[in-house]
Structure 1
Amino acid sequence: MCGRFVVSQQADDLTAVFEAENGFVDWQPSYSLAPTDTVPIVRERARPDTGEFVRLLEPARWDFHPAFMKDSKRPQFNSRIETVATNGLWKGAFASGRCIVPMRGYYEWTGEPGSKRAHYLHGSDELLAAAGISTARKLDDGTWQVSTSIITREARDASGEVHDRMPVYLPLDAVDRYLDPAKLSPGEAAAMVEFLVAQSDLVAPTISEYEVDPRVNNHRRIDPHDPTLIEPWSG
């Protein structure tokens, strides 16, 4: 799974890599993003005046909440690749709300409560492109809220030693196909799932892991802007 991740890049760095416009001008790099936090995503959107599609870096709440879903105390922050194209909660967004969640790496834990060991998983480069889905709903105050979920799969990286799930990471040259805004038919959605599996198989072997300071265990008590959170820890 992915329950906490890192985005150490500035907005300009992210827009340059994904060739996107900046719709998240106040983004600040974070070394500890948790469910319900606001995170950066990249997606294709139609301009309201011209209908032309444009690629944007924009904010999203990491707690997938489509308009038809009732309020829930349990954040919906991961979607399983095995059901993302068929499950009623996810399939509409997978068909027409695909996005990329940029990240430098993510955390997993081992051990018992009270003495958990924190592990940081990262790629060979400083930026990973995780496949995600997004949706939008109108809030009571009349504003629109975009929310997102990260797609996960069976672990094929170093996380297999600490957890059985990992994010679906794509090579950068596969991003354009995934972000194509065309709505997928059920058959096309199934083909997209196969594409994600094959492409993430290419990235998974490049992911490695090391242990970090267990102070990262408590999201509320750390400074999320502290880059030392991802430094190796020897105990």
Structure 2
Amino acid sequence: MMCGRFTLFASYEKLLEEFDVEVAIAEELYRESYNIAPSQQVIAIIHDGSKNRMGYLKWGFIPSWSKDEKFASKMINARSETVDEKPSFKQSFYRKRCIIPMDSFYEWKREGNSKIPMRIKMKDDSLFAVAGLWDTWQSPNGAVHTCTILTTTSNKFMSTIHERMPVILPKEHQHTWLNPQIQNRDQLKTLLVPYPSELLTAYPVSDKVNSPKNNGRELIEEVS
């Protein structure tokens, strides 16, 4: 699995400003988190054809045609190399793309028999946008809006930690990715590349992050 935990504790105002959001959930519904895990509700940005909207999607993709939700836990990531071919993701790749804002993500670095949790972030601490897909599934109890995070091969920096990394979209590519009118496969696939190594940094954090039950600021503090 790749990209199974991340953080988002930027202010509500910062999110609206950074991602040109015109329609959003009410501010009191926004919850910052230091340990976002699969099956939770995550903040996402979509483009409705005229403007950017911000709201919550459940992390764990369920295609609209699915008979049940049993696949959701396995569909937290989609490989960018094959995302346009896989029946589960193909329709959303062309029509329902989203951005998932983060200020860092966690990855577990293997050292001998142990796995060390690492926090990966921008060197300048800025917010960043990760490419995702979304869909709406009709459950017996109503509509469920879900998402998945796209991954790619690791850049040189990340490869010392893990062989995969989330697809981070620079500012100049975000509008293209979000625009549902753009359905050119080659144009979209050119955006799904490893982010430049020199802009990222990482450090080890407490293994408290291993449990989604833990969610405090101490999780992002460096440990020796």
Give the TM-score normalised by structure 1: 0.86
User: How far is the alpha carbon of 1:22 from its aligned partner?
Assistant: 4.4
Please give the root-mean-square deviation of Cα atoms over the aligned residues, in Å: 2.0
- Identify if the C-alpha distance between structure 1 residues 165 and 219 changes in structure 2 by more than 3 Å, giving closer, same or farther: same
SS of aligned partner of 2:219: helix
Among all aligned residue pairs of Structure 1 and Structure 2, give the percentage whose two residues are the same amino acid.
28
User: Does 2:139 match 1:139?
Assistant: yes
Tell me what 1:49 maps to.
Answer: none
Q: Once the 2 structures are TM-superposed, how far is the Cα of residue 27 of structure 1 from its aligned partner?
A: 1.2
Q: How does 1:112-131 map to 2 (within 5 A)?
A: 115-124=114-123, 125-131=125-131
Is the contact made by 2:44 and 2:101 (CA closer than 8 Å) also made in structure 1? yes
SS of the aligned residue for 1:151 comes to strand
Secondary structure of the residue aligned to 2:13 is: helix
The residue that corresponds to 2:40 in the other structure is: 37
What is the 5 A alignment of 1:14-53? 14-25=15-26, 26-46=29-49, 53=50
Structure 2 gaps of 5+ residues are: none
Q: SS where residue 218 of structure 2 aligns?
A: helix
Is the Cα–Cα contact under 8 Å of residues 23 and 58 in structure 1 kept in the other structure? yes
SS at match of 1:116: strand
**Residues paired across the two proteins, number:** 218
* 2:63 counterpart residue number: 66
In 1, Cα distance between equivalents of 2:134 and 2:218: 31
When residues 68 and 89 of structure 1 are mapped into structure 2, their CA distance, relative to the original with a 3 A threshold, is same
For residues 173 and 183 of structure 1, what CA distance do their matches in structure 2 show? 15
1:138–1:215 Cα change, 3 Å: same
SS of the residue aligned with 2:69? coil
CA distance in 1, matches of 2:157, 2:48: 35
State the match for 2:107 in structure 1.
Answer: 108
Structure-2 residue corresponding to 1:79:
78
Q: Which runs of 4+ in 1 moved over 2 A?
A: 21-25, 110-116
Question: Which has more strand, going by share of residues?
Answer: 2
Matches within 5 A, 1:128-167: 128-142=128-142, 144-167=143-166
Question: For each residue in 1:34-54, what CA deviation from the matched residue of structure 2 results, as whole angstroms up to 9, or x when unmatched?
Answer: 1111000001125xxxxxx22
TM-score by length of 2: 0.90
